[in-house]
Structure formats: C-alpha cells, structure tokens
Amino acid sequence: MKNELLSIGEAAKLKQVSAKSLRYYETIGILKPAYVDPSSGYRYYSPNQMIDLDVILTCIELGIPLKSLTDHKTNRGSLNLKELLISGRDTALANIRRAEDSLMRINSCIDEITEQEILRHKDAPYTRCLAKRHIFISPWKERKFSVKSYTKAMAELYRTAEESGATPLYFQGFTIASCGNELKTNAYVEVGRMTHTAPKEPFMQRTLPKCENLGFRIEGQSITECMNKAFSHIENNPGLYSITEVWDSELPENVYVVEVLREVNN
C-alpha cells in the first residue's frame, strides 16, 4: 500500500504547492495524510487525495476561507466534495457577477467620457440622443441645492440599488419635470441592470425610453454653483430635464461640470 502513496514532497511538487501548505491543511483538518510513518513522522498521500487537493486549491483561488471548508466534511472526516463544489460554484457565480458589474461600470464610463470629449467642443444647445436607461430615484424636497443632502441622497440610492440586486453606474444627478415655478424633482442614479425586487419607499426604479435632447454644460468652481445655475434655468424653462454630473479630465480639478438635457418632444 505504501508503495502506491505519494510522499509529502511528491504531492507538493505534483500540485505546485509547498509542503508547509500541506501541513497547514492537515492542521486545520481539511486534508489529513492517508498515512503517517510512525517512526519518521513522514506524511504520505493517496492518489485519490489529489482530487481533494485540487478542490482546495480552487477554493483558495475563489477566495473561500480555508477554515470554512471544515463545514463540508463527511462523517468519516474527509471532504464532502459535492457539497464543497456546490458552494464553490455559488462563489464563482457571485465573483463572475461582480466582475461583470465592474466591467459594465468601466465600459459605460469610457463611453460617456468619449461622448463628453465631443460635446465639450460643441456650441450650446447641442442635440444629444440618449438610449433607453434604467434609473433608481428618490424624491428631492429641497428647493435649492445642498451638497450635504445631495451626497447623502446619492449614497442611499447607490446602497438601495445594490441591495435590490441592480448595478449602479457612475452617473448621478436629478430628473426634473418643470411647469413654471412647479418643479417635481428626483435624485437619480443610473443602473446597468434592473431588478425584479422593488426597492422600499421612497425609492423607486424607472426605465427611461430612448429620446432626443437639447443640452448644454455648466462649469463652475463648485458643484453647488453648477447645480443652482441649472435649477434656475429649469425654473424659467418648462420641460422634462435631467442634470448629470460630468467628469472632464481636460478641466482643472477645482472646476466642476454638470450637463443639462431637456427632452425635445416636451
């Protein structure tokens, strides 16, 4: 039997791990040697245990804490591979979802930066077509812009979107329906995917259809200055609007930009 076993050195070399790691796996109870020489204390592993070791290494790659693997053991003390693989699959799927979300945020941000590089040089008002978008919104009750209230509202929207299973992007601001001095204002965060889980009030999710817009950019020394200028313009010009923060790498760090868009069919 011993002739069919792999020494700890052979097992370590075969799977490209250190003997120290194998001893650690033994210590925490997730991979005990098939045989320990009583005289030398030298450890040996069976060929079948190499599958267990592969699964352990996969769990490490997925970021699963090794000590949690002890929750997936059979009555005989060996790893329950089916249970462990199901758990690993769930973790891998969650990691894929996070990677897809990150890629969605990155790609959408690159696209918007490219678009703003073009719009920066256009005379206002310019025409801009927006594709169908998904947003999370919450009512904005303040007549004037408050940076502290705005920052709090955005943090709550991002958190609510994530808790609902949506993917918040890097685009945020306000949607406003203006009828003279009457303004119906919502803070919004754009999301890359919608969710079937309705957020708790006062938060709501909306899908905005593709639309043509007339737009212009407002630059200022603070986000408050930019937003208040945008609010003043909208009060005097009825229509359906969106105000969105713009990140423009060509401008100094102390210059803020917002984009104001009005649907042309309203």
pLDDT digits (tens, 9 = 90+) for 114-167: 899 889 889 999 999 999 999 999 999 887 899 999 999 999 999 999 888 889
Q: Measuring CA to CA, which residue among 245, 247, 117, 107 is closest to residue 189?
A: 245
Indicate whether 1 pLDDT > 70.
Answer: no
pLDDT of residue 201: 82
Q: Which domains does the chain carry? A: 2-93 (1.10.1660.10), 120-263 (3.20.80.10)
pLDDT of residue 156: 94
pLDDT digits (tens, 9 = 90+) for 50-71: 988 988 888 888 888 877 877 7
pTM, full prediction: 0.73
Indicate whether 229 pLDDT > 90.
Answer: yes
